[in-house]
């Protein structure tokens, strides 16, 4: 994949002005409330993606090894978005808004640290999301690397030998310690995650019957597709 792919996506989303989402005056497990909450989730996720890509752009030239920390973060969010699209979209289509809200509540307010002191819902577990992302990647892209990529990114993010080796260069009589220079492997993972994440967001916004930001996301998907294989995003939204 071209190194410029993430820059192209960032250039298309960095100046997004999100519409104000007026909270409906209904119960939280109604169709209207679920669609509103789903839009909140997607808008927030696009805003987070924008921040991550802006950070990658700055770190790639100055501190390329640290790109792995941001790529790991986006990998986890891509996995969660895949989990949400796989679990939540069928709930909405089946008008199971009670279960849809429970899942959205996990995604929007779940926090393991706060849950130690309060009754907030548990967040969606990363290992469950990664497992679903692995399955979706195999079905849609023919790739079974999502789990191995996550393990790789985690190892580089934790205090262990493989993280320190990045700073070491072996010589005949010893080694020298210097700044690492490689970000290519991280960008390959990032680019596949970006295509997947945009696709998942597109599906979720379609389920929420949102058209403004979804139109932008669909346009980016078509623009970056080129000769790459991406899942079909031109499905028709079902009426809720």
pTM flag (> 0.85): yes
**Given this model, what pLDDT does residue 162 score?**
85
At 90 the pLDDT is 97
What pLDDT shows up at residue 116? Answer: 62
Structure letter (DSSP) for residue 226: T
> What pLDDT shows up at residue 224?
84
- 3-state secondary structure (DSSP) of residue 143: coil
What is the sign of the dihedral through the CA atoms of 124, 127, 128 and 134?
positive
Print burial letters for 84-108: b (CB count within 10 Å at least 16), e (below 16). bbbbbbebbeeebbebbbebbebbe
Residue 236: per-residue pLDDT = 38
Q: Residue 184, exposed/middle/buried by CB under 10 A (0-12, 13-18, 19+)?
A: exposed
pLDDT of residue 118: 62
Averages of pLDDT over runs of 10 residues in the chain (240 residues) are 78 96 93 97 98 94 90 97 97 97 94 66 92 90 84 90 88 90 80 95 97 96 68 42
* Cβ(70)–Cβ(187) below 8 Å: no
According to the model, what pLDDT value does residue 26 have?
92
For residue 163, what pLDDT is reported? 86
């Amino acid at each position: 994949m071209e190194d410029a792919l993430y820059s192209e996506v960032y250039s298309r989303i960095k100046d997004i002005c999100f519409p104000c989402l007026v909270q409906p005056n209904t119960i939280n497990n109604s169709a209207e409330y679920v669609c509103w909450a789903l839009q909140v989730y997607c808008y927030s996720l696009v805003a987070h993606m924008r921040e991550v890509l802006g950070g990658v752009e700055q770190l790639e030239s100055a501190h390329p090894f640290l790109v792995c920390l941001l790529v790991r973060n986006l990998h986890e969010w891509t996995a969660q978005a895949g989990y949400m699209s796989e679990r939540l979209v069928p709930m909405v289509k089946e008008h199971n808004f009670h279960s849809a809200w429970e899942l959205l509540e996990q995604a929007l307010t779940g926090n393991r640290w706060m849950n130690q002191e309060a009754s907030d819902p548990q967040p969606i577990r990363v290992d469950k999301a990664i497992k679903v992302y692995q399955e979706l990647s195999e079905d849609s892209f023919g790739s079974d690397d999502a789990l191995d990529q996550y393990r790789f990114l985690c190892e580089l993010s934790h205090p262990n030998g493989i993280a320190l080796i990045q700073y070491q260069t072996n010589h005949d009589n010893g080694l020298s310690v210097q700044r690492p220079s490689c970000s290519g492997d991280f960008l390959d993972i990032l680019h596949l995650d970006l295509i997947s994440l945009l696709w998942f967001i597109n599906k979720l916004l379609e389920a929420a019957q949102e058209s403004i930001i979804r139109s932008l996301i669909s346009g980016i998907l078509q623009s970056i597709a080129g000769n790459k294989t991406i899942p079909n995003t031109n499905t028709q939204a079902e009426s809720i």
